[in-house]
Amino acid sequence: MVFNLFKKGSSSSKQADDKNKPSSRYFSLKVKEVVRETNDAVTVYFDPAGREINYKPGQFFTLIMNIDNQSIRRSYSLCTSPDTDEFPGVTVKRVEGGLVSNYINSEFRAGDEIELMEPMGVFTTDISHNQERNLVFFGGGSGITPLMALSKSILKLEPKTKITLLYANRDTDSIIFKSKLAELENTSDGKFKVFYVLETAPENWIGYRGRLTPGIIGDVLGKVSDQGEVTEYFMCGPEGMMMAISTAFRELGLPKEKLRKESFTAGTPEAKTIDAPVPSANTAAGAKEVKVIYDGEEYSFAVEEDKTILETALELDIDLPFSCQSGLCTACRGKCLSGKVRMDEMEGLSDSEIEEGYVLTCVGHPLTNDVIIEIG
């Protein structure tokens, strides 16, 4: 199959030049400091060195590394707040058999230069001094990372807002940011409360024991019910924990539309079709023409049935944003302006994003010949 690649307003020689030109979405930063948080987790702080790094609390960096002669990308949530921290940082927990997480924990040193993609992600919120909210955060393991960033910004900039954090871990030694969370709680004048759940707890433990259950969630919500109706819920953690929270929402009759989630681990694949506002009826078999609008440029190419939109673009040396390639991190997210797209995995998108026509190119397959996707 011969793919047709067309870049609007460019000659073929101009296209070749542009492919070698570095994008403003990519940059290199030196590691400022590596801080050991637990036995299996570190926070890596980066030195902007005069470069302005604009990000929102709850967003993530995509790190691009060369390991064993492989170029590998991984997304990690920023644990820092642009409103309280001088240096941006990500927290990385070792994963058994995880190539990148083990490499970062063992090999990263101050002075190392790392290539990154610009901060991305929609697991954030609009913060305003005049807002008065009652927020509930569910965290598990390293899922505390974006919740820490959100907590710091909200506590500083929204003095009337209250945050309740329910944080689940394996044991006391695996609690990331334990002292920092205690400091936030002690200095928040009652606006930040932390409840812990430990699978294996010591005899003198006064928190919750076992795994996170609907009973524990209901009990915690009952303890903070005097703070008023919950405005929004945020959750980030292992898939099992987030499934338990979804179950709790059904059993307790909590509003699912108020639940926000962030996930970098795969759940159960669920293929769905996204309809643009005016979809085409042409769904014949075979390769489909796709147009992607990104960074002010337009790229048109054909995508075979067994290929994703991102996979095809990368084969054609079109430098679209991506990281996990599993439909989770949303680095490749774009809005479908026309046509129909089928996705293999929906975990990374909220129901509202799906309704608005957002798609993930890393798991997206065009079903019609008039698919137009705008990224960024």
Give CA separation, 337 vs 45, 90, 266, 330, in Å.
38, 34, 27, 17
Long-range contacts of the stretch 12-21 (C-beta < 8 A, 24+): 18/297, 19/317, 19/319
Class for the domain spanning 26-120: mainly beta
Domain 268-375 adopts which CATH fold? Answer: Ubiquitin-like (UB roll) (3.10.20)
The CATH 3.10.20.30 domain(s) of the chain lie at: 268-375
Q: Three-state SS for 85?
A: coil
Cβ proximity of 360 and 348 under 8 Å = yes
- The Cα–Cα gap between 160 and 129 comes to 8
Compute the distance between CA of residue 291 and CA of residue 334 in angstroms, rounded to an integer. 12
Q: Where are the alpha helices (DSSP H) in the chain?
A: 12-19, 99-107, 144-157, 178-186, 214-223, 239-252, 309-315, 351-355
What is d(CA 80, CA 276) in angstroms, rounded to the nearest whole number? 36
Q: Report d(CA 98, CA 324) in Å as an integer.
A: 13
Dihedral sign, CA of 126, 131, 136, 140?
Answer: positive
- Find, among 135, 37, 121, 26, the residue nearest to 78 by Cα: 121
CATH number of this structure's domain 134-262: 3.40.50.80
The predicted model scores a pTM of: 0.81
Q: Which two tokens stand for residue 305?
A: 């049935």
Is there a contact between 359 and 343 (Cβ–Cβ < 8 Å)? yes
Q: In what order do the strands lie in the sheet with 41-47?
A: 70-77, 60-67, 113-120, 26-38, 41-47, 89-93
CA gyration radius, the chain: 22
Q: Which one, of 149, 155, 239, lies nearest residue 193 by Cα?
A: 155
User: What residues of the chain score a pLDDT lower than 50?
Assistant: 1-22, 266-270, 277-283
Strands 134-140 and 162-169: parallel
Where in the sequence of the chain do the CATH 2.40.30.10 domains occur? 26-120
Tokens at 263, concatenated? 């996930």
Name residue, tokens 């147009």.
Answer: 291
Tell me what pLDDT residue 152 has.
Answer: 98
Rounded to 5°, angle at Cα 123 from 120 and 127: 100
- For residues 116 and 104, the answer to whether their CB atoms sit within 8 Å is no
- d(C-alpha 284, C-alpha 335), whole Å: 23
Q: Is beta strand 134-140 parallel, antiparallel or unpaired with respect to 232-236?
A: parallel
Residue 10: its pLDDT value, please? 32
